[in-house]
Chain A
Amino acid sequence: MSGLEQLYQQIILEHSKQRTGEGLIEAEGKRAASNHQYNPTCGDEINLRVILKDQEEVIESISWEGNGCSISMAAASVLSEMAPGMTTQEFQALVDDFREMLRSRGTVEPDEEVLGDAAAFAGVSRFVARVKCAMLSWVAAEEAAKEASA
């Protein structure tokens, strides 16, 4: 696989166009928090909302609206598909694994059992300038999940 094919895996290209979670879900009366992240170098931004279930520390939904490159849009979509049903602890562990993989400059082999579709972003870690793109929505979700369960 060329470097470019590693970066733009089919899963990423598909998620960047067929996006899960796009469009903010109404959160009135729910345990929810929103977070806004902005990448000043390219102007990419995302507004993301995490809604928790009523009585449990479990993510009910992640929804978002944003503007950005294929990597950032696909990362938000994959995140929104994977997170619902996870406990906030499980979710934090997933974010930690995702971050470790992205910061590894290609040295961490992704565990697909754990990372699922998010493993497709392993190739992004070789493109240092694009790591921020993949992390944008994940950082927003990490912050929002913490706030919602606080």
Chain B
Amino acid sequence: MAIEYRTSPGAPLTNDLVRELRKDFPILDRTVNGNALTYLDTGATSQNPLQVLDAEREYYLGANSAVHRGAHTLAVDATDAFEDARRTVAGFINAAETELVWTSNATEALNLLTYSFANASQGIGGHDAARFALGEGDEIVTTEQEHHANIIPWQILAERTGATLRYIPVTDEGLIDYEAAQTIVSDRTRVLTFTHVSNVAGSVTDVEMLVSLARKVGAITVLDACQSVPHMPVDVKKLGVDFAAFSAHKMLAPTGIGALYGRNELLEAMPPFLTGGSMITKVTMNEAQWMPAPIKFEAGTQRVSQAVAWAAAVRYLDHLGMDQVHAWEAHLGQLLAEGIAEIPGIRLIGPAAGQPRAGLAAFHVEGVHPHDVGQLLDEKGIAVRVGHHCAQPLHRALGLTASTRASAYIYNTTEDIERFVDQLSTVRAYFGY
């Protein structure tokens, strides 16, 4: 099926162009409490364009069958679609197709890593896997800025292996303290894991700096790329990280699928996490031999239709051009930051207005709980996220229990941001401040 796009490839995003794009997203036409929907919660999950939904439907209508098995034509077509999707998604971050493992979501990707490391620590995977084995005296370093998905798996791994989990602290603005990082990363550091873009602060991490710290001490680097891959050009080779996790539903595709990137050499050496059907070559009553990566990590029936849909989302984004996506979102991010910062009694979290930030902004309204802020905005049809955004340690460091976050994407206009800022400016008065 030839896919049709409404705009010419790589055209700069403008309000007019975004209005055209919005026709691909029928959900954005619905009303909420009698108002047009203003969707500013892409940081939590994005909306899917027709091209993506159609791709998934086409797959089910024309090729659905079991992949990597069976000799019939449908099985071949399904396997082709599945592996083409892998090439497409891997190519999007400049990885080889053998370097991309499908997972249920980014959380599972990070758990895959930590459980594989735990297996290696118990001797599974033999000599090759010893480089992933952790024990007493070893340190895993993460940051106080992380999403819980990049904290708890490492807590469990530390508990299981006797390694110590350490944190690079954040500054008063909620930004990674790079000076502290230099003393925390040491010869004992075996893993350094960090987010690329903070889902709360909206800051972009200096990956180059942290990767160079890790390399000096021979530590494995892990990047949480959930908030970067959907929004900016990401080249894992240029960044030089060993592993990266990201997910489809934050980039115009359905829920249920995520991915782990790992350098070929590392994926080959790493023992599997989930085991069972599909991931083996030879099985006896006592043991099994594994397929090469990435199939080694993909036990059981895979998420074929979601992979196909994700590839369609990648093509949609490629058509827009990630440089253009990034430029538009940087613009929207600035408008958000400026608008929020100008309202009295509201504290902007993360980089100050005018400083580089992603297309999202979290903030604290003095005297008014985020739930109440979100409720008032919802009354006007404006969807934002309220709560701790799965980043309790970061909120604690900021002296907060929760915050409100607006996050934009390719389907948001500058008018969306203005409508949001206008409503936000009425919130404190409503609650008597």
Contact = CB atoms under 8 A, between A and B. Distances in A.
B168 to A, nearest CB: 23
Contacts of A4: 375-376, 379
B392 A43 contact: yes
Contact of B395 (A3, A17, A41, A43): A43
B379 to A, nearest CB: 5
B371 interface: yes
A7 B375 contact: yes
Contacts, number: 51
Contacts of B369: 42, 44, 68-70, 72-73
A13 interface: yes
A130 interface: yes
Given A3-B379, A43-B402, A70 B388 contact: no
Given A42-B387, A68-B369, A130 B401 contact: no
B62 interface: no
Interface residues of B, number: 19
A21 B395 CA distance: 27
A72 B376 CA distance: 16
A107 interface: no
B387 A43 contact: yes
Given A13-B432, A42-B387, A69 B372 contact: yes
Interface residues of A, number: 23
B375 A127 contact: yes
B431 A43 contact: no
Interface string A56-76: 000000000001111111000
Interface in A43-100: 43-45, 67-73
A41 B386 CA distance: 9
Nearest to B373: A69
A34 B379 CA distance: 36
Contacts of A131: none
A133 interface: yes
Interface in A94-128: 127
> 5 closest Cβ contacts across the A-B interface?
A69-B369, A69-B371, A43-B401, A4-B379, A43-B402
Interface of A: 2-4, 7-8, 13, 16-17, 41-45, 67-73, 127, 130, 133
